[in-house]
Chains A and B, each alone.
Chain A
């Protein structure tokens, strides 16, 4: 079932030429793109099942231009969709046919680096890896490392609250951002946080992070940088049953060990990865765990021994510790290539992103196999085991009639299962349009309305990235209405003193 996007406003479309001209006055030169051919690259993001040409693309270069564009659109009632590098896997940057696509790619400078306070101030179009590259000469790095880190940008990372494989120990974006400059839909510019550690007043930065471009446009971010750990070693551990792998993860954490990374793959993912990169993975196991420890060498060696002891008590059939940097990278090579590896064994795959309580892993894997049989589609699993974030890859062929629909239905069932066992719809890819219509499986109407009221505080006309995250659009006036029933005020049972 395709996700329905907001109906285009014909009155806005009728004024397209006038709007384009006004935007050109704000962003001169090549910063406004209006030809169909030149707008084509912007028609979708990493969630390629959906495509839509925007009304116009604007690529501002300064905060003042962003403010002027948003202020103009606010006054004119024109919708705006912000976009970073367009790597979203949930359609967060899908354009609107009557909307301005606000591309932030030209904000690509590192503004300052403050090693004394361990922060970097960067523009939102700087890539995730670009932050690390700017500070690594001094032995520092930026911790969140989504797999798209070569391409994805900090602005998008803030919008999506991006994670990566090291979040259990180092946190996700929200734990690593200290400040931002934010332009509101009205064109007002506000600064939140800075090099100091905690917020003055409401933690608005905390709610901007992960808001999927619905609350404001970030034009600068202050991020934490960390000293690179002295060393890292990994263990490659295979299990004959996924239950044993799940138990091993629980026992490692139960023993007080927080690994830098802890990744699990199931049999189909192991086979696909091994055939692709020949990492030396065992092929006769049901679950393969990569546990990476980082820190001082003495600590890493000590904890790795303990991890191996735990693995043995959990009936590991293979357990190897890396003894060189090459070997550690080889252990990771298969995991890091898991998506393209699966891409080799199937014409298409659909990557899901639910989070579950870790203990539910064996149950969820079993139920997923049943669903796989039911839908007649294969599934391979990679799993951020440390934090319970699952990435099932559903294999399908878009050229076979009905397979895409079946893959989507299968995916939706997996996400419902995640919620049913106490987990959530999305761990790091965002709701976007992809999971928008599943929001009611996790949230009540009251929950969603409260979130939308918060949006109204930032965007009173619902112009910023509408159609994403929330399944139903409400007018702010309607959300603000209150019905106080005098009859409900009696509450005779409530103790009073």
Chain B
């Protein structure tokens, strides 16, 4: 029978970990559980529920900085910064639709632990690039901090980077400090219809290599595009580019963009409202929503060199009957595969290894996630280093043990 520990402050988090250490127990760390279905399926003895550590502790818009306890809901943070015309520029996706959970259930700690970002990642970086400071409890039951509240800081190792994307396997974060940035004054999106994947990636590569300075570039093949309200009824693939900034700048770059992509096909523009809705859909991968037509499929998240995106996507479509959605100008591929015994793992990983990058199985049953490597296996030297790094924080495997790989 699994216990649920719900600490109210960092001292109680230390106590909970110390309790687990003494009893040889493994803890599953959760905020609101929105990403609980991601990762290797492992067995934990008790839950360390950090949702009781909630609240913004510092927000100074003029300093572009916000601190919050790890269990603070993203919705609360986004509303607070929006009131001052700011946002978390890395545009963290909401996994609710994709995983069939509630929308707006993420917490800041979970977003950082999973290094979640969105379409704007190609311009401003990922969650890890906006993560300035942290307090956390290690698997030794000890509170430690790293970083600070200023953007320029090289004092000691940057443990924020290491914790970002560590899926709770190193430490339980208790409080975090992140960078906030102003919301762009205007936004517009250019769309080109009917491009095949290869041409679309060429168009995105051309735009990314220009001075147009788009804040997002994505390609939705026809089946995916048909499931986005703003694009429905076209019956065609859609390649989209987002422009953000002050009005004179957007106007200037819009003209540049038009010239650049006109040779690829006819260009149309979406103004702010549909543009926002479109990028939210892409961010949250709603074309593959759990309650939609692709809901029965497994979903892989693939990170590759952007210019090689189509090579990977087309191979997956042809050889694994995958539905594809390309973000990050081709560098992020969401692939929805029909269910199969090995979740297509060997095929997916062999295709990705040719182009470079890695693939993570983000939606699959617990049984599948127990037998397939959810995260790409590492080379022997790297895997050994990863294990030593984990043990330097959590020598007895108390925190989220086995969430990434067996033993990690």
Chain A: which residue is nearest B169 at the CB level?
A: A202
Partner of A426, one of B4, B155, B205, B379: B155
- Report if B45 contacts A (CB, 8 A): no
Q: Are B5 and A298 in contact (CB under 8 A)?
A: no
Interface 0/1 of B382-399, CB less than 8 Å to A = 100110111111011000
The answer on a CB contact under 8 Å between A227 and B151 is: no
Is B128 part of the contact surface with A, judged by Cβ < 8 Å? Answer: yes
Q: A116-B209, A450-B144, A489-B23 are in contact. Are A204 and B385 (CB under 8 A)?
A: yes
Interface residues in B327-343 (C-beta closer than 8 Å to A): 328, 331-332
Q: Which residues of A contact B385 (CB under 8 A)?
A: 184, 188, 190, 204, 457-458
Interface presence of A326 (CB below 8 A): no
B213 touches A115 (CB 8 A): no
Given the interface pairs A190-B382, A494-B5, the reply to whether A207 lies near B209 with Cβ below 8 Å is no
What's the Cα separation between A65 and B277 when bound, in Å?
A: 54
Q: Are A204 and B389 in contact (CB under 8 A)?
A: yes
Q: Which of A210, A359, A456 has the most CB of B within 10 A?
A: A210
Cross-chain contact A197 with B126 (CB below 8 angstroms): yes
Query: What distance in Å separates the Cβ of A494 from its nearest Cβ neighbour in chain B?
Result: 5
Whether A201 pairs with B211 at a CB distance below 8 angstroms is no
Q: In the complex where A388-B152, A482-B140 touch, is A256 in contact with B4 (Cβ < 8 A)?
A: no
The answer to whether B150 and A388 touch across the interface, beta carbons within 8 angstroms, is yes
Q: Number of contacting residues on A, CB 8 A?
A: 108
User: Are the C-beta atoms of A454 and B249 separated by less than 8 Å?
Assistant: no
Q: Which residue of A lies closest to B22 (CB)?
A: A489
Chain A residues within 8 Å of B253, by CB: 296
A188, A228, A359: the one within 8 Å of B63 (CB): A359
CB <8 Å contact, A201 and B153? no
Pick from A203, A443, A454: contact of B128, CB under 8 Å: A203
Known interface pairs A256-B85, A389-B152, A491-B16; A200-B378 also in contact (CB < 8 Å): yes
Say yes or no: A424 contacts B142, CB within 8 Å: no
Alpha-carbon distance between A192 and B138 when the two chains are bound, in angstroms: 24
Q: Is A478's beta carbon under 8 Å from chain B?
A: no
Most buried by A among B60, B161, B375: B161
Q: Given contacts A299-B245, A359-B63, are A115 and B209 in contact (CB under 8 A)?
A: yes
- Contact B154–A427 (Cβ < 8 Å): yes
> B198 contacts the other chain (Cβ, under 8 Å)?
no
B159 touches A484 (CB 8 A): no
Determine if B165 and A424 form an interchain contact, defined as CB atoms under 8 angstroms apart.
no
A253 touching B150 by the CB < 8 A rule?
no
Per the 8 Å Cβ criterion, residues 262-301 of A in contact with B are: 295-299, 301
- Decide yes or no whether A195 CB sits under 8 A from chain B: yes
Q: With a 10 A CB-CB cut-off, give which of B22, B62, B360 has the most chain A CB atoms.
A: B62
The answer, among A197, A207, A482, A497, for a CB contact under 8 Å with B159, is: A207
- A153 part of interface (Cβ distance < 8 Å): no
Output the least CB separation between A439 and chain B (Å). Answer: 7
* B143 lies within 8 A of A446 (CB): yes
A210 near B158 with CB under 8 A, answer yes
Residues of chain B lying within 8 A (CB to CB) of residue A442: 148, 155-156
Taking a contact as CB atoms under 8 Å apart, the answer to whether A209 and B158 are in contact is: yes
Bound CA span A288–B52, Å: 47
CB under 8 Å from chain A, chain B span 109-126 = 115, 117, 121-122, 125-126
* A250→B115 CA distance, assembly (Å): 29
- Report if A200-B8 is in contact (Cβ < 8 Å); known contacts: A424-B155, A453-B392: no
Q: Judge if B275 is at the interface, Cβ distance under 8 Å.
A: no
Pick the interface stretch among B188-196, B261-269, B298-306.
B298-306
Q: Does B64 contact A (CB under 8 A)?
A: yes
**In the complex, how many angstroms separate the beta carbon of B186 from the nearest chain A beta carbon?**
11
Question: In the complex, what distance in Å separates the CA atom of A207 from the CA atom of B62?
Answer: 28
By beta carbon, the residue of chain B nearest A497 is B4
**Shortest distance from the beta carbon of A472 to any chain B beta carbon, whole Å:** 14
Given A358-B63, A491-B12, A496-B5; A431-B306 close (CB under 8 Å):
no
Partner of A296, one of B60, B211, B386, B389: B211
Question: A411 at the A/B interface (Cβ < 8 Å)?
Answer: no
Please, which residues of chain B bring their CB within 8 A of the CB of A258? 181-182
In contact, A201 and B376 (Cβ under 8 angstroms): yes
Contact of B155 among A356, A358, A425, A496 (CB under 8 A): A425
Please give me the residue from chain B that is nearest to A353 by CB atom: B154
Please tell me if B230 contacts chain A, counting CB pairs below 8 Å.
Answer: no
A414 at the interface (CB under 8 A from B): no
Is B381 interfacial (CB 8 A cutoff)? Answer: yes
A175 at the interface (CB under 8 A from B): yes
A84 within 8 A of B: no
B162, B164, B379, B392: the one contacting A190 at CB < 8 Å is: B379
Q: Choose from A174, A197, A356 the contact partner of B161 (Cβ within 8 Å).
A: A174
Contact B21 A484 (CB under 8 A): yes
Task: Decide: A202 near B158, CB < 8 A? Known: A254-B62, A296-B211, A388-B151.
Answer: no
Which A residues touch B401, using CB under 8 A?
none
Q: Which of A159-174 contact B (CB under 8 A)?
A: 160-161, 163, 167-168, 171-172, 174
Q: Which residue of B lies closest to A179 (CB)?
A: B356
Q: Given A443-B156, A482-B395, is A200 in contact with B375 using a C-beta cutoff of 8 Å? A: yes
Take A190-B382, A446-B142, A456-B392 as given contacts and tell me if A424 and B148 are in contact as well, using a CB distance cutoff of 8 Å: yes
Contact pick for B19, options A295, A446, A489, CB 8 Å = A489
Contact between A197 and B331, CB atoms less than 8 A apart: yes
Who on chain A is nearest to B142 by CB?
A446
Which B residues from 163 to 198 make CB contacts under 8 A with A?
A: 164-166, 170, 181-183, 185
- Which residues of A have CB within 8 Å of B6? 494-497
State whether the Cβ of B129 lies closer than 8 Å to any Cβ in chain A: yes
Give the residues in chain B near A123, CB-CB below 8 Å: none
When A254-B61, A358-B62 are in contact, do A299 and B252 touch as well, CB less than 8 Å?
A: yes
B307 and A201 form a contact (CB under 8 A)? no
Residue B220 is within 8 A (CB to CB) of chain A in the complex: no
Interchain residue pairs with CB less than 8 A apart (7)? A196-B331, A197-B332, A229-B211, A296-B253, A299-B252, A485-B18, A495-B5
Known: A484-B21, A485-B22. 10 other contacts (CB 8 A): A184-B381, A192-B382, A194-B356, A196-B356, A227-B209, A387-B151, A447-B146, A450-B142, A482-B395, A497-B6
Enumerate chain B interface residues (CB-CB to A < 8 A). 3-8, 12, 15-16, 18-19, 21-23, 52, 60-65, 85, 115, 117, 121-122, 125-126, 128-129, 138, 140-146, 148-162, 164-166, 170, 181-183, 185, 205, 208-211, 213, 245-249, 251-253, 256, 303-307, 328, 331-332, 356-358, 360, 375-376, 378-379, 381-382, 385-386, 388-393, 395-396, 404
Which residues of A line the B interface, CB within 8 A? 114-118, 139, 160-161, 163, 167-168, 171-172, 174-175, 184, 188-192, 194-207, 209-211, 215, 227-230, 250-251, 253-258, 295-299, 301-303, 355-359, 384, 387-389, 422-431, 435, 439, 442-444, 446-448, 450-451, 453-458, 469, 480, 482, 484-486, 488-489, 491, 493-497
Closest 3 CB pairs of A and B: A206-B161, A256-B182, A299-B249
